[in-house]
Chain A
Amino acid sequence: MEVTLITERIRSFDKRTEIDIKPITFLVGENSSGKSTLLSALNALGEPAGFPFNTNFNRAPFNLGTFSTIATDSGGRAGRASSFILGFSLISGKRKNRVVATYVNSDGYPMVSSVHVINNSGSAKFDIVKNQLKVTFVVSDSQHAVVVGMPRREMTSSSAIINRLLQKMMSDSKSKKGRRRDDHAIGSLFQILTNGLNQYPRTSSLAPIRTKPKRTYEPGVKPYSAEGEHIPFRIARTFAEETPQEQDIALMEALSEFGKSAGMFDGISPRFLGSAKLANPFQLMVNTAGKKAVLTDVGYGVSQVLPVIVESITNKDSDYLLLQQPEVHLHPKAQAALGMLFAKLTAEQLIHPLIIETHSDYIIDRVRLAVSQGVLRPEQVTIVFLEKVGRFSQAHQLSLDDRGNILNTPLRYREFFMREQLQLLQRTVNV
């Protein structure tokens, strides 16, 4: 599945910005350059039953705020944009689907004003004005239009809107001649909308600050949380399996491989405080050089990286995993190990595509190395460099070649890093 994120006039991205998402997509750039904005946009797109009619722009762990904090403020006379755009295009095999929505200000909150859907079945455009929904659609080169009265409060999901539209069209069709032609149009619109609005990139996210480790966890099932509160429970369940599944084995192996390469631990396992395993409280034990210690008694980096690895491998509910700074609390050696783990798991198709906001050169370097070693194909990786130009952001999508070289870099790319390096070098030369 190939997905492109589409934004326009969202926060500092004033112009149309289209980002092609790859199996590993890095978002890099200075603070406030727009990395989190793009992740937030993807996160908003990826909520089930949300986009485009009931988009949650504040889906945890992100918070884009209200219309006035989302729409681009160009300053001066131009002021704040009166609308903004969010959408995606998706190609999966022969299926193509593009959904682009425009949002306007409604009592301070973003409200959808139009949605354009284009896919293999045809194209349809929704225009919403007050309590009226107008749909114009094209099927086999002929244009149709239908207008439905529908209170805004009922436009809560794509399925509610599709149902209302079809009801209206079918009742219209019954009341007039030429029903066969109408039936065809109804069927075609149904295809366009169900294909268009039900195929979207589902996303899950992990926050940059993960939950604190606990000495003991009470038994039970924790729902997914962006801070990773559910992770210890997922690990416990994985290890409690009498006959581990392929995914369980992959997780155990990944934890062990990462821990050893990072020099952090040899393995992670739960200690159930009773014979009934999952019915009892448990501790997470970190095995290092033959000794086991409780998670709270080892370095903080272990508890912070566990959600990243576990969620990458075990998440079943999403197509994409959004990671904010997975390197937090990790030594560069561990960051490098994490980069290689991402590369290997991606190559083995054991994880969903990752969109990683990072400041870690070590993670990116290892992924480049993996490309040069043939572990990954260059087209599986992209680096999106976000550059702040005045008050606006520009996205530069960089690619790799098969030796891990970074291509198409813009002028001034990494100027700060080189200046730092040269200053240090100059100091050495002077000494």
Chain B
Amino acid sequence: MKKLILDANMICKVFGNDDLSVSDLSNALLIGCRFKVAAVRGGQLSDEYMRIIKYRSVYSELERAGRMILADDNAVRLDTDHVAQLSFLRSDDPHILALARIADVRILCSHDKDLHADFTNQSIIPSPRGRIWQNNSHSHLLQ
């Protein structure tokens, strides 16, 4: 099972299930088609997910299907504070970086360029190097 982090700014696109450019991830997450993947949530990202009210029922269903995994919330929040203090941080998403570190996730689905830079920075997320999935052309990462 490949673990990944789905940035809140991608939720509507992926769960809306009508954007063909992300269909590989939509189908894999929503109906378990082709790729065995699980989206990891925890810390502030969970809060962001919960603010997108219309997909709350989808999160529960994904968890029942084992395709959404809850990370250790306290550990993520603690590490978020730690990551936020790094002087070379470019993005304003330390919670996502902390989630990747705590839950050992190395695939990020996001359109945020600054976050891409941080996610692939091995001083923040150590080896193996973080990889970015943005659309179906990156689906080899889901194998």
Contact = CB atoms under 8 A, between A and B. Distances in A.
A414 B65 contact: yes
A429 B32 CA distance: 23
Contacts of A401: 69
Contact of A412 (B31, B57, B58): B31
Interface residues of B, number: 24
B66 A407 contact: yes
Interface of B: 1, 16-17, 30-34, 36, 54-55, 57-58, 61-67, 69-72
Given A409-B67, A412-B33, A417-B61, 13 more contacts: A403-B72, A406-B64, A407-B1, A408-B1, A409-B65, A410-B32, A412-B31, A413-B32, A414-B32, A417-B65, A418-B62, A419-B31, A422-B30
Contacts of A419: 31
A418 B30 contact: yes
Contacts of B70: 372, 403-405
B66 A405 contact: yes
A19 B7 CA distance: 38
A428 B54 CA distance: 9
A183 interface: no
Closest 8 CB pairs of A and B: A409-B66, A406-B66, A414-B65, A405-B69, A412-B32, A411-B32, A415-B31, A403-B70
A108 B63 CA distance: 46
A12 B24 CA distance: 33
A105 B19 CA distance: 57
Contact-residue size bin, chain A (C-beta under 8 Å from the other chain): 20 to 34
Given A408-B1, A412-B32, A418 B17 contact: no
Contacts of A414: 32, 61, 64-65
B3 to A, nearest CB: 11
A327 B55 CA distance: 27
A401 B62 CA distance: 16
B56 to A, nearest CB: 10
Contacts of B17: 422
Contact of A415 (B16, B32, B66): B32
A85 B91 CA distance: 60
Given A421-B57, A422-B17, A411 B65 contact: no
A361 interface: yes
Interface in A384-410: 398, 401, 403-410
Contacts of B1: 407-409
A365 interface: yes
A372 to B, nearest CB: 8
Nearest to A412: B32
Nearest to B58: A421
B64 A417 contact: yes
A417 B71 CA distance: 24
A403 B41 CA distance: 12
Nearest to B30: A418
Contacts of B55: 425
A404 B62 CA distance: 13
B62 to A, nearest CB: 8
Contact of B36 (A405, A411, A418): A411
B57 A425 contact: yes
14 contacts: A364-B64, A403-B69, A403-B72, A407-B66, A408-B66, A409-B32, A409-B66, A412-B32, A414-B61, A417-B64, A418-B32, A418-B65, A422-B17, A422-B30
Contacts of A422: 17, 30, 58
Contacts of B64: 361, 364-365, 406, 414, 417
B58 A405 contact: no
Contacts of A409: 1, 32, 65-67
A429 B54 contact: yes
B77 to A, nearest CB: 14
Contacts of B63: 405-406
A364 B58 CA distance: 17
A424 B54 CA distance: 11
Contacts of A415: 31-32
A335 to B, nearest CB: 14
A418 B33 contact: no
Nearest to A385: B66
A346 B23 CA distance: 43
Given A408-B1, A412-B33, A425 B54 contact: yes
Max chain B Cβ within 10 angstroms of own Cβ: one of A405, A407, A417, A429: A405
Contacts of B34: 411
Contacts of B16: 429
Nearest to A429: B54
Interface in A343-399: 361, 364-365, 372, 398
B61 A411 contact: no
Contacts of B66: 398, 405-409, 413
